[in-house]
Amino acid sequence: MHFATRAIHAAQPSDPTTGALVAPIFQTSTFEQESPGVNKGFDYSRTNNPTRQRLEAVLADLEGARDAAVFASGLAAEHAILQAFLRPGDDILLPVDVYGGTWRLVSRVFAPLGIEPRFVDTTSLDAVAAALAARPRLVWLETPTNPRLHVSDIAGIASLAHAQGTLVVVDNTFATPVFQRPLEQGADLVVHSVTKYLAGHSDVIQGAVLARDPAVFEPVRFLQNATGAVPAPFDCWLTLRGLKTLELRVQRHADNARRLAEALAAHPRVARVYYPGLASHPGHEVARRQMSGFGGMVSFELKGTAGEVTDFVSSRRLFTLGESLGGVKALIAQPARMTHASIPAERRAALGLSDTLVRLSPGLEHPDDLVQDVVEGLDALCANRESIAPLAV
């Protein structure tokens, strides 16, 4: 079956008791047992819940996984992977452009426990190969990255890593399984911030971990139950609802992103556009090879001051200033002061994460309106700059 059909039908039969087309929410903390330790497959909702089980089955199908574990947030999902596989003295390789929350988790929570994070240009197979000489326990990829949409060769890195006995984790949040399925390209684990495109309506906080190999997955499943960072049944039900329109939504997100990227690339107040769908993007060819679409995110460097960036992102009519992404309503952010503010300023500078970087998450609005909103703001900056220019003498 095609993706859109599976998103509606896979692991989602009508309710056998009532025939309800939409499965009920099992909003319960505990379940009746027939005798001590004998039950119908459920005993306590931290361990398992029918609504969460259904969501995990759907996510596994869409991502091409055998198993999925859903967590109360994307960072809870990341924490489970790191706790499952890293021990004091282990190294982990990460992209230099890694999401700020991941940077904080690895650098502020796991590094004090004796884990060594090594930030590498994962767009370069040579750089990854050199870093793998230290035999790290994990390679952690985001592709495309947050916020500059760098693209890494999943299959190439997986081949290098597996030769060293290193596991590969791919954060597939930006691409979604509509456009990219890392497990099919050799990744061992996939992680999602379900909050974003998968749930898709800015009303759920959730994460997921997926795998094909039971031996790799079981330590994560154990921690899901042992640490208890699980989502509520109602949140799982909301995500199930969102997944039914996932392909339609991300296609519109991607179409809007492409239109915005093209408009930004032509504007004089834009220094650089980050969008894998542009032929000028350094990772364009890799993205074409491993993705079926280029995703719904666009970032760009504004020619101007940090103050002008603040004015620009704070004054849009349709792009709401806010964190997160992947919802139906367009969002705009200044990563250095928002999503990546947990990274110290000197570290951001070393990573090339500037104060003039703007990140756009186009929603499902009409592309003409979104382009007009952004271009109007950029044109206003041009007009303001001209209005304060010194008079010729």
Q: Of 148, 181, 196, 269, which one is the catalytic site residue?
A: 196
The beta-strand segments (E) located in the chain are 67-71, 91-95, 116-120, 138-142, 167-171, 189-193, 207-211, 270-274, 298-302, 320-321, 331-333, 357-361
Cβ neighbours for 327, distance < 8 A, ≥ 6 positions apart: 196, 200, 201, 202, 361, 363
Q: Which two tokens stand for residue 118?
A: 């090594």
Distance CA 239, CA 110 (A): 30
Q: Of 97, 171, 235, 373, which one is the catalytic site residue?
A: 171
35 backbone dihedrals φ, ψ, rounded to 5°? -160, 170
Report which residue type is found at 390.
P
Q: Which two tokens stand for residue 204?
A: 């759920």
Long-range (24+ apart) CB contacts under 8 A made by 340-345 are 340/99, 340/100, 340/103, 340/147, 341/100, 342/100, 342/101, 342/103, 342/104, 342/108, 343/100, 343/103, 343/104
Angle at 121 between CA 118 and CA 127, to 5 degrees: 85
196 assigned to active site = yes
40 assigned to active site = no
CB-based burial, 113-122: b 16+ in 10 Å, e otherwise: eebbbebbeb
16 backbone dihedrals φ, ψ, rounded to 5°? -65, -25
Q: What is the 3-state secondary structure (H, E, C) of 176-203?
A: HHHHCCHHHHCCCEEEEECCCCCCCCCC
Q: Of 6, 43, 46, 288, which one is the catalytic site residue?
A: 46
Q: Of 52, 97, 99, 359, which one is the catalytic site residue?
A: 99
Q: Which of 254, 266, 267 is nearest to 377 (CA)?
A: 267
CB-based burial, 314-345: b 16+ in 10 Å, e otherwise: eebebbbebeebbbeebbbbbbbebbbebbee
Distance CA 33, CA 338 (A): 48
Report which residue type is found at 38.
V
Report which residue type is found at 366.
H
Q: List, by residue number, the catalytic residues.
A: 46, 99, 171, 196
